[in-house]
Amino acid sequence: MKLQMAQIGRCGELLLQYELLLLGVESAPMSTDAGVDLVAYSPKMARPATIQVKTNLRPKPSGGRGKSALDGWIPDGCPAGLIALVDLSARRIWLLKASEIQKVAQQKPRGRYHVCMSTDRAYQPQKARLAHDYEFQKYLLANRASKLFGV
C-alpha cells in the first residue's frame, strides 16, 4: 500500500510526539495547518514551543536523479519556533530553531528555505548545496532535548 502525502506527514508528527512523550514533553497537534503542526510543553520551559514538521518517508534521489537525500521546504516567516525534519525510514528526527534553518538551508528560492541532506556517505558534493546527514548530528532530537525542553 502506498502512503499519501498527508499520511506521511501525520506519521512524522506522531513519531515526534512519541519521542517527545518518552522524554516527558507533552505535545498536541493543531487542528488546522497554519504553519504550526504541534505545540509542545515541558514543565521546565517558560512557555510552550511551536513546531513545524517536515517528513520524508525515505531518502529520494536529490534533484530527481542524484544521490539519495532527505529534504524539506520551510516557508520564510514560518510562525513555528522549531522545525522538525523527520526521516521515517530510519526513525530519525532533527530539531532546529527557526533561526537555524536560515543558516543551514542550501537554497532560498521565492521566500522558502530548502534544507537537503545526503544519506550516501560516499558522495562528495561538488557544490555546497548538499550537506551530509552526519553534518546535522548536533540537531538530532536526542542531542537537543535538554537544551530545547530542559529534559
Per-residue pLDDT tens digits for 15-25: 999 999 999 99
The domain in which residue 114 lies consists of 5-149
96, HSE (Cβ side, Cα atoms, 13 Å): 22
CA dist., res. 47 & res. 150, Å (int): 12
98 vs 126, which has greater pLDDT? 98
Looking at the predicted structure, is the pLDDT value of residue 150 above 80? yes
Instruction: Tally the domains of the chain.
Output: 1
CA dist., res. 44 & res. 6, Å (int): 32
Average pLDDT over residues 39-56: 96
Percentage with pLDDT > 90 across the chain = 73
- What is the predicted pLDDT for the residue at 123? 74
CATH code for position 132:
3.40.1350.10
How confident is the model over 84-98, as pLDDT tens digits?
999 999 999 999 999
Looking at the predicted structure, is the pLDDT value of residue 114 above 70? yes
Name residues whose C-beta falls within 8 Å of residue 9's C-beta, 6 or more positions apart in sequence: 37, 53, 55
pLDDT band at 38 (very low <50, low <70, confident <90, very high): very high
Looking at the predicted structure, is the pLDDT value of residue 129 above 70? no
Looking at the predicted structure, is the pLDDT value of residue 41 above 90? yes
CA dist., res. 108 & res. 128, Å (int): 13
